Amino acid sequence: AIKDDHTLPSVFSLSQNYPNPFNPSTTINYSLPKEGNVKLTIYNAIGSRIATIINEFKPAGNYSVQFNGSKLASGIYLYRLESGNYSAVRKFILMK
């Protein structure tokens, strides 16, 4: 993950991935206004966990992470960011 030290974010945010739809990989950006444990999880359309991309302590900052869906079937997936009391979910589409 890439950390950008220039400006610390003031709020938690989880951006829409790009490109979307994607094949086979996509980029997910997120921001943390304060340090804490961060969990980024991928789910399928019926809510089963497919993968946990990140599950570790992170300092405050802006981050970018790659997700490779080459082993997954085409379809709609969800990604969820959790840190402290913050939680957000976005939908993304894998098209092969």
Q: Does 80 score more than 70 pLDDT?
A: yes
pTM of the model: 0.90
For tokens 């220039």, name the residue: 6
Q: What is the pLDDT of residues 13-26, one digit of tens each?
A: 999 999 999 999 99
Secondary structure letter of residue 17 according to DSSP: P
66 contacts: CB under 8 Å, gap ≥ 6: 25, 26, 27, 28
